[in-house]
Amino acid sequence: MNNFSNWLRQFSARLSYGYRRFMEGRYGTDRFNMAILTTGLVACLLSMFFPIAAVKLLLTTVSYALMFWAIFRSLSRNTYKRYQENRKFLQVFDRVKDREHRYFDCPKCRQMVRVPRGKGKISITCPRCREKFVRNT
């Protein structure tokens, strides 16, 4: 028994070492990946309950595609690109979550400008290029 637990400990140590070596230089997971996986899981669950075969097939395909995408991202060695994707996702996510502000892109320099919501029509001055534009908040 003692032998076996020893063997088990060594085995799991070797396994985690192998995993760490395998993941070296790879991107791993982030919040964007978690969102992709969750969406894939939801699509998978929905596909089980949908009575229409065509919709079922579509949802299953989508869920597989999403899960493969998440795996691809976590194993990717192009960490810079994956990091940028996550950043963009978080930006959009924060925008959607933010109920107190509205976000506009400056028509001249594309700088993102955040203004309080519900103030009616206001004139916005871009903090970067000083361009003035009117938007309905």
**Least gap, CB of 94 to Zn ion (angstroms):** 20
Residues that bind Zn ion (rule: CB under 5 A) add up to a total of 8
**Least gap, CB of 105 to Zn ion (angstroms):** 9
Q: According to the binding rule CB under 5 A, does residue 132 interact with Zn ion?
A: no
Q: According to the binding rule CB under 5 A, does residue 129 interact with Zn ion?
A: yes
Which of 131, 133, 135, 137 forms a contact with Zn ion (CB under 5 A)? 131
Q: According to the binding rule CB under 5 A, does residue 36 interact with Zn ion?
A: no
Partners of residue 105 on adjacent β-strands? 112
In whole angstroms, give the CA distance from residue 60 to residue 54: 10
> Which stretch in 5-13, 24-32, 40-48, 105-113 sits in contact with Zn ion by CB under 5 A?
105-113
Residue among 24, 27, 35, 22 at smallest CA distance from 67: 35
**Least gap, CB of 125 to Zn ion (angstroms):** 9
